[in-house]
Amino acid sequence: MHDDITDIPNIRVGHDTNIAAGTGCTIIICDTPAIGGVDVRGGAPATRETDLLRPLHMVEEVHAILLTGGAAFGLDAAGGVMRYLEEHNIGFDVGVARVPIVPAAAIFDLGFASPSVRPDAAAGYRACEQATAETLAQGNVGAGTGATVGKLLGPGFMMKGGLGSASLRMDDGTMVGAIVAVNAVGDVIDPQTQQILAGARNPIGGFIASNPFGNTTIAVVATSAHLSKDAINKVAQMAHNGIAQVIRPAHTMFDGDTVFSLSLGTPPQSRPDPATTALKISMIGAAAATTLARAILKAVRSATELHGVPAAQT
């Protein structure tokens, strides 16, 4: 066990990191097509292909998910991911071609180092080339490179956010994993102590209360269980509870909070009864929330000082 999302079979993750520009992107590749879902709670998201993941829409295959910096500009990186997947004959078969399904979400990191350098198609392609099922680098990497938290008093008092990942094995052997880029205006709270782990620094020491008007956390949760499109969307919805547990505030009109969800299990030979299915969905959703919360804490604990922005002391 790596204690990250690559513990889910058939998932690989790759980063492209530009330390000098303070930005990057992270790609989550599904080596077998996954059933995907999404729940966008923030009022100001930068996203791609989210409508396709909703239950009323036809396509159920997801081949990769992109988490990126660069705000809406960074969504260009998905083009490089599509090119990589197409070259490897991966995509939804439409008869005349295979179209890779690559939903994406971005964080706003333009003010961290260089506002004119953003992840592009070449960055997305490079991230795919780096994809691995081994233990993941976390902190100042990929989509978390330019992530920061605690911005109430401006850039002089913020702290470093980052990218984090975690996994959990449920009692029945089902695996649940999460990966997240934490770029919150608000503060990250340790749920055990209810103390601020990383947030807006007070000029005279300690922390101040966070701005009530925004944060952006983008994440992917995945499970080894087989779930329907309806069910995996419910898991995405429940996983947002993990954000609310450790980032305050969350889901305001100024947020870009987005959680994607992936089911990579093999369909059962017989259909289970509805009560059993409902219980299974609920337990996986609760596990996804717990795992996402822990991934957020790992993101800020793994981050290190960059471009003069300090990191949490752990």
Predicted local confidence at residue 152, as pLDDT:
64
Predicted local confidence at residue 213, as pLDDT:
38
Query: End-to-end CA distance of the chain, in Å?
Result: 23
For β-strands 61-68 and 104-106, DSSP reports them as: parallel
Class of domain 5-302: alpha beta
Ranges of each domain in the chain: 5-302
Q: Which two tokens stand for residue 150?
A: 């605690």
Predicted local confidence at residue 207, as pLDDT:
47
Predicted local confidence at residue 149, as pLDDT:
86
CB-based contact 218:72 (threshold 8 Å): no
Mean pLDDT, consecutive 10-residue stretches, the chain (314 aa), reads 96 98 98 97 91 93 97 97 98 95 96 92 98 97 93 72 97 97 83 72 49 70 97 98 88 84 91 90 98 97 89 73
CB-based contact 36:228 (threshold 8 Å): no
